Structure 1
Amino acid sequence: MASTRVLVLEDDDGIRMALRMALEDAGYLVVECARAEEALRAVEEEPVDLMLVDLMLGGIDGFTFISRVRSTTHAPIVVVSAREGTGDIVNALEVGADDYVTKPFVVEEVQARLKALLRRPSIAEPETGRDRTERVRLSDGADPLVMDLAAATVSRGGQRIHLTKTEYRLLEVLTANAGRVLPRRTLLERVWEHGFYGDERLVDVHVRRLRSKIEPHPSEPQLLITVRGLGYRLDLP
């Protein structure tokens, strides 16, 4: 835990200080920033493992920050914001956030979500104890979609597909249960690991994002199927 670096991007001094003190007490190394411009420079200079991001900021807003930083890092992003409208939450998830907490919040809830995100497999490093040749073929054709469970990567025709930790974990859970319908609540519990707090919109938005990356025609999915009124199913060839 001592090596885990968390970026806290929050322009309210009181909230930022409270988060910093609570996270440091829990053993995290905290990088705090009040402006997105400052945070972008900080992440570029030294990568972080997790990010807590407010949406309403002076200058570059939280949405833009998430969109920019997501193109360069897989680090999980949790939005912490007073904006709790469906549109704001969905927009934040669409541009790359993994989870969200609305203000006012309980620090223990934020910590629980961070711990759940950290437990997910790394997208960059292989998992120990697994056969490095363990692969799952997700599609047929000349350029098949392949999931490498040892390296925690997904590729099509040998070209790596950029997935966030949440997107990878979602695909991993669906693949492990291929052919079975998994309700949204089940996916919340297995992917986000805090279903008590979770919102089913998290699942829908991340399914759309995942489809945009793995389906040749996302509007007509052939791999990740919606079963109306029940949930989602992954169909292997």
Structure 2
Amino acid sequence: MTVVLVVDDDPAIRRTLAINLRARDYEVETAGDGRSALQAVDERMPDVILLDLGLPDLDGVTVLRRLRTFSQVPVIVVSARTGSDDKVEALDLGADDFVTKPFVIEELLARIRATTRRVGVEEPALRLDVDGLALDLGDSRAVRDGAEVHLTPTEWAIVEVLVKRRGKLVRQTELLHAVWGPAYDRQTNYLRVHLASIRRKLERDPAHPALFVTEPGMGYRFAPGVA
């Protein structure tokens, strides 16, 4: 699932964008100021950022400049500033596109689709076959070497998060929040227990997992062919 970080100091705009993006199967994170945006990126790298320039602490230009010191994540500037100097500066700093407020939501969605296509962001397939394991996330079915495997709802929730972000690190807190909710920050033992069960059921060699890989002290990733 494509992850979009919406950075805007206007709660109404954040809410409107979040509702419209989630309705189209995007995963959405939001931030109301520049420092929160940079912290959000540090905790979880999104696939695309919608960035307002008029932020209350660090302005959008500063956020963009700092982002480009460590990441080439696609950035679409969404701003009420209409001056050509602002647009040129943002594009020169590495913004991928510039949309002027007020915007038409369908146009903005088209810009997001175009940007993600251009940089090669793709939605992971809901069905995949790898190393004798067939997963169908839509039907919640798993087959290992021709035999159907039963996963609990919690195990499926974990598998779905990891598979949809195939190859990417999913941090422990991020996985806890996605499966159990925002109140679960420190229950990393939950993850160890459930991942051990998932590996027993789905890995060819659970003692040496090749699909559901642990990044010690950081999190997990679904990384077939990497480990």
TM-score normalised to the size of structure 2? 0.52
AA matched with 2:21: L
Output the CA distance in 2 between the equivalents of 1:99 and 1:29: 20
Match of 1:47 among 45, 54, 62: 45
Give runs of ≥4 in structure 1 deviating > 6 Å: none
Partner of 1:6: 4
**Residue 72 (structure 1) shift:** 1.6
- For 1:117-196, list aligned pairs within 5 A: 117-122=115-120
Partner of 2:74: 76
**Residue 119 (structure 1) shift:** 1.0
**Residue 122 (structure 1) shift:** 3.9
Output the CA distance in 2 between the equivalents of 1:117 and 1:96: 13
Match of 1:86 among 66, 84, 87: 84
Secondary structure of the structure 2 residue equivalent to 1:119: helix
Deviations 1:29-64 (A, max 9, x none): 001000110110110111100000000010100000
Deviations 1:164-204 (A, max 9, x none): xxxxxxxxxxxxxxxxxxxxxxxxxxxxxxxxxxxxxxxxx
**Residue 120 (structure 1) shift:** 1.9
**Residue 71 (structure 1) shift:** 1.9
Deviations 1:66-90 (A, max 9, x none): 0111222221100000001100110
TM-score normalised to the size of structure 1? 0.50
Output the CA distance in 2 between the equivalents of 1:48 and 1:20: 14
Partner of 1:16: 14
Cα RMSD, aligned residues only: 1.2
Match of 2:26 among 12, 25, 28: 28
AA matched with 1:97: A
- For 1:95-106, list aligned pairs within 5 A: 95-106=93-104
Aligned pair in 2 of structure 1 residues 63, 121: CA closer, same or farther (>3 Å)?
closer
**Residue 95 (structure 1) shift:** 1.2
Q: How many residues align?
A: 121
**Residue 121 (structure 1) shift:** 4.3
Gap regions ≥5 residues in structure 2: 122-227
